[in-house]
Amino acid sequence: MDTSFTQNRELSRLDFNERVLEEANDENVKLFERLKFYSIFGSNLEEFFMVRVGSLTDLSNLKKKAVDNKSNMTPEEQLSAIMKRCVDLYKKKDLVYEKLVDDLKLEDVHIKKVSELDPKDRNFVEYYFDTKIDPILNFQVVEWVRPFPRLQNLSLNVIFSLKHEEKKLNKKTGKKEKIMKPYLGLIFVPDKINRYIKISNKTIVLIEDIIKEFGDKVFEKYQCDNRYIISLTRNADISYNDDDYEVDMDFRSYMKDMLRKRKRLHPVRLEIDGEPDPKLKALLMEKLMLKEENIFITTSPLRAGFFFKLIDEMGDDLKAKLMDPPFEPQVSSMVNPNKKMIGQIEKRDIFLSYPYESMDPIINLLNEAAVDDSVVSIKITLYRIAKDSEIAKALIKAAENGKEVFVLMELRARFDEDNNIVWSSRLEDAGCKIVYGFDNYKCHSKVLLITRIENEKISYITQVATGNYNEDTAKLYTDFSYLTSNIEIGMDAKDLFDNIMIGNLDGEYNHLLVSPKSMQEGLDKLIDEQILRQKQYGDGYIRLKMNSISDRLLIDKLSEASNKGVKIDMMVRGITCILPGIAGKTENIDIYQIVGRFLEHHRVYQFGKEKEAKIYISSADFMTRNIRNRMEVAVPIYNDEIRKKIMCFMDIMFSDDVKIRKLQADGTYTKVPNLSNSNAQEILIKNAIARAKDKEEKKKSHAISQTYQEEKLKDENKMIKEAEEKKVGFLAKLISIFAKKK
């Protein structure tokens, strides 16, 4: 396999996470936003070890070794490279945290260790430990030869090296002698209490550091030599097709069993807040079955997700100074919130851009469909939904109102399984028909189909999106949502749901591209069209935006197009296994990346330029799992107004010169020249606010105009009435005069 223009996906993923860490270190980013990026870096690394390192660890244990087709590396070689790379990342992480703490001090915000407190504050913290923490602690003493306790995945623990004076018989002298026998003490940091306490409004001490400082009190009569905060990461890459799955077992029950299994999987990483003595390290390696390379020493906090809550609790003045200005998704310029969504979509296609525009129109559409007499069915695919999902509530309302509601609920959405299990049960109880997808294939598509019958005529409203039906992430992730009453697209969507019902993954569609079958075929055809256009007219062009690209077949197809002269511009947020600028392979390909305030999440495929361009939005990245191992959907955009909107959006994204980075042939990312100080996400925020403001002003202007017309009409009617009254009065006088004469 030719690897001259490709790179390993796991190392590329770490490159992306380093880019996130760079945002935490960028002084042009507001300080609290930097703290959030630091926290996101830690969360990303946790998931990386649980999933990717976990998966590679499983592969390395197989007899038949799989070789990565982008780097020719075995699982063992990949794991070794990952661990070496992470050593550097941990060092950088610690340095970034030190800088954050120093910068917070300048704002009179102090994150302190107990050892840094003055005597008064130290006494307060000790009292807090004695009265609030100690009473709820779980702990145990472990002798060196006793079984080591099972540590929960990602739990925080404080470990103590203990000694206890005991008498032991000296076989030579026959006398008992005093010895100091070694033990381990373990305190499990409670996860039901806050991670920190505030000594003042702006001085914070972490709970685990308090336990580390005073926890030896619980080990009475033991001498404490050393103490460390540790966190264990376990493999969470569970297989959903294990041999223990029984055909007669309810799939929801099976998933609950699998999630319980996840908590017991093998360790893949141990984090320690200091270098342990060799004897303790050897014991931890033995008991946790870890290699030394899987142990990472860090001086910065473990499990840093608590920083989001800490920021929320800071004063409004400080947040206004140290955070980005608040932004709420705006009303779409294509939607009138005072009119019914069904009627608006029947008149024209509607396009939403999250988080710049609100997701409310989708929720309003579902609530409207739930009570509309013309609606006979609602069908939807759900992958990740909010904890308190308005989408699910609307579906429940529809089912309770007698609508046929069909939900494909993907229970295998990693780390959202519990939430999906809960909602699938609620939906089913309300009368929704629930299916859980396909054997061996996840359903990752985002499709909604509303079927109506009015005057004996069947019509469809179809919605296809690049992101999930999740009101929470729609405020944080950038995504597109397309709604249409196009009857042919509606018929394709109907066929899609019919195929879901019978488990058919090989359906034929006239407009939609659907993996695992027609997506690859359709993309190959679209790329070939640009190769032909390059040959005929010399202007073949492809522009793509996605989260990741790792699929070998698509990488080779893009390389083929590049070699034929087709210009290819790509924006890939994360994993990028294709390298640009390699002579004879990818010399016509440029690849960019943006990490900013919002998580870039669109999947947009553009083939050709301007009026000739074919535009698709999709749920699928160019990854093998998306193209061949999942059900994904891409929808063509035929509406000229929306096509222009998408291409304008792409122009803005690719013209960024603040947050954008360009991938080099050696796999490194570099900044581009800052010529216009163009921050794409900030431009899109301003544009959304301006459109909403303009719409509101037009609405007010229309209202004023309407009021003026109404007043004018009233005046005209008054004048007519007065004229009529004068006319009647005049006639009455004439009649009176004639009567007197007679």
In angstroms, the first-to-last Cα distance of the chain is: 121
CA distances from 45 to 40, 85, 639 (A): 9, 12, 41
**Chain centroid to CA 241: how far?**
25
601 an active-site residue?
Answer: no
Beta strand extents in 314-396 (DSSP E only): 350-354, 375-382
- Return all residues near 537 (Cβ < 8 A) that are at least 6 apart: none
Task: State both tokens at 659.
Answer: 């947050």
The dihedral sign for the CA sequence 259, 260, 261, 266? positive
Question: Are residues 228 and 385 in contact, defined by beta-carbon separation less than 8 angstroms?
Answer: no
Instruction: Report how far residue 549's alpha carbon sits from residue 418's, in angstroms, rounded to the nearest whole number.
Output: 29
3-state percent breakdown (helix, strand, coil) of the chain, nearest 5: 45, 25, 30
Identified catalytic residue from 110, 164, 266, 444: 444
The backbone torsions φ and ψ at residue 224, rounded to the nearest 5 degrees and listed phi first, read -105, 125
Question: Are residues 227 and 212 in contact, defined by beta-carbon separation less than 8 angstroms?
Answer: yes
Q: Which long-range contacts (CB under 8 A, 24 or more apart) does 107-112 make?
A: 107/31, 107/318, 107/321, 107/322, 108/202, 109/202, 109/204, 109/314, 109/318, 110/202, 110/203, 110/204, 111/204, 111/205, 111/206, 112/203, 112/204, 112/205
Instruction: Report how far residue 50's alpha carbon sits from residue 44's, in angstroms, rounded to the nearest whole number.
Output: 10
User: For residue 123, with 0-12 CB atoms within 10 Å meaning exposed, 13-18 middle and 19 or more buried, which class applies?
Assistant: exposed
Instruction: Report how far residue 214's alpha carbon sits from residue 210's, in angstroms, rounded to the nearest whole number.
Output: 6
Question: Are residues 617 and 464 in contact, defined by beta-carbon separation less than 8 angstroms?
Answer: yes
- Return all residues near 169 (Cβ < 8 A) that are at least 6 apart: 175, 176, 177
User: For residue 448, with 0-12 CB atoms within 10 Å meaning exposed, 13-18 middle and 19 or more buried, which class applies?
Assistant: buried
Instruction: Report how far residue 262's alpha carbon sits from residue 252's, in angstroms, rounded to the nearest whole number.
Output: 15
Instruction: Report how far residue 126's alpha carbon sits from residue 116's, in angstroms, rounded to the nearest whole number.
Output: 13
Beta strand extents in 31-125 (DSSP E only): 110-112
Sheet with 203-206, edge to edge strand ranges:
110-112, 203-206, 196-200
Three-state secondary structure string covering 524-545: HHHHHHHHHHHHHHCCCEEEEE
Instruction: Report how far residue 145's alpha carbon sits from residue 124's, in angstroms, rounded to the nearest whole number.
Output: 38
- The letter for the amino acid at 151 is L
- Token pair 């027609």 in the structure block, residue: 518
Three-state DSSP class for residue 641: helix
What positions carry a catalytic annotation?
A: 444
